[in-house]
Amino acid sequence: MMMTGIGRVGNDPVVRYTSDNKAVLDISLAFAYGKKDATGSRPTQWVTASLWGDRATRIAPHVTKGKLLFVALSEVHVETFAMRDGAGMGASLKARVADIELIPSRPPEAENSPAVGQTPAQNKGSFGDLADDIPF
C-alpha cells in the first residue's frame, strides 16, 4: 500500500545504525485529516516512517520538529504491541519513506504580504475561506 501527503514532523529524529552499519532515520509524522471539530481542529493520524541508507544521513539535518514534509510512503502497515501498563494491546501505523521533499517555510513577513505583483485588494481570497463541506 502507498500513502502520500503532507505531514508535520513530531520530533527531532536521530540517525541510528543497524548492526551491519546501515543508517536509519525514523520520522514521527502527523497527518491531519477529516473535518474540523467545534474547536477548529482536525483529527491527527500519526505515522512512524523510516528512511534508510545514504538518504537518511543526508536529509537528517533538515528534518526537525515542526517541519512540513511531502512524503510518499510505502509498505504502510499496522503494528500491534502490548501496552506498558499491561491493560491490553495498542496499535501504531508504520511505513517506509519512498520519496520525501522538504516544504520551505515562508518567512513571517511573507504570510501577511500580498503575492508578487498584486495589491492587497487583489490578494483577499484564499483556500482557507472555502467551506469544509465541499465534496471534491
pTM of the complete model = 0.72
Structural domain tally of the chain? 1
We report the CATH number of the domain holding residue 21 as 2.40.50.140
For residue 23, report the phi and psi dihedrals to the nearest 5 degrees. Answer: -75, 140
Q: Is residue 134 part of a domain?
A: no
- Give the Å distances, CA to CA, from 11 to 16, 24, 66, 113, 126: 15, 15, 7, 30, 30
Q: Which amino acid is at 7?
A: G
67, with CB counted inside 10 A (0-12, 13-18, 19+), is middle
Residues in the chain: 136
pLDDT in tens, 83-105: 888 888 989 999 999 999 999 87
Q: Tell me how far apart the alpha carbons of residues 66 and 43 are, in angstroms, rounded to a whole number.
A: 17
Domain that holds residue 89: 3-129
Q: What is the pLDDT of residues 38-94, one digit of tens each?
A: 999 999 999 999 999 999 999 999 999 999 999 999 999 999 989 888 888 989 999
Q: Is residue 65 part of a domain?
A: yes
Element spanning 55, H or E: helix 54-59
